[in-house]
Structure 1
C-alpha cells in the first residue's frame, strides 16, 4: 500500500499581518497535528512562506487553516501552488 500516489504538496505565500503574531509556530503545530511534513518561514517582504506535503485531505485542511491563521493574525491572501513533493522528514520552522 503505497502512499506516494496519494500525496499532495503545496507552496503557499500568505500575506497580511502574519509576522510577529506567532503565525509560523501555530502553522507548524497545525501541520504536525495533520501529519504533514515541510516547513514554514518568514519572507523579507512581510509574507509567510509554507511548503507542506501529505495526504490531499490533510494538505487541504492546512490550506484552509492558513486563510485564518492564529487569532492575532490578519490574513489578506493565500496564494496556493501545487508542487512536486520534496520528501521532507518532518515539519520545521525556519527563520
Structure 2
C-alpha cells in the first residue's frame, strides 16, 4: 500500500537484534539492503554479541527494512528482535556501518 503519507513522512526506528548476528556479514548486508531501499541511518555491533541499527526514511522504505531485519542475511539466525520508534530532529544523509 502506498500513498502520499506513507511515501513522504519520515520515520526513525531503533532496532536491536540478537542471535547469530555477528561474524555472518549482518552489518554489510544491512548496509546493502538499506542502500537498495533508500533508507538512511547506521548499523553497529555491540559488545554483547547483538547488533543495533537506526533506520530512517519514508514509512514504506522503513517497513521493508524492518521486515528484512527480522530475518537478516542467509547465515544469520535472529532469535530476538526489538524495535522502538524514535522521534528525532536529526536527518541522516546516508546509511553507514559503524
TM-score higher than 0.5 here? yes
Query: Which residue of 2 is the match for residue 93 of structure 1?
Result: 97
TM-score (norm 2): 0.88
Query: Which residue of 2 is the match for residue 71 of structure 1?
Result: 74
For 2:11 and 2:38, how far apart are their aligned partners in 1?
A: 12
- 1:84 to 2:87 alignment: yes
- 1:49 to 2:61 alignment: no
Q: What runs of 5+ residues in structure 1 fail to find an aligned partner?
A: none
Task: Note the alpha carbon deviations across 1:30-50, whole angstroms, 9 max, x for none.
Answer: 011110110000001100001
Tell me which stretches of 4 or more aligned residues in structure 1 moved more than 4 Å. Answer: none
Q: Name the count of aligned residue pairs.
A: 90
Measured after TM superposition, the shift of residue 78 of structure 1 is 1.2
TM-score (norm 1): 0.91
Measured after TM superposition, the shift of residue 77 of structure 1 is 1.5
For 1:29 and 1:55, how far apart are their aligned partners in 2?
A: 17
Measured after TM superposition, the shift of residue 84 of structure 1 is 2.0
Residue of 32, 45, 58 corresponding to 2:35: 32
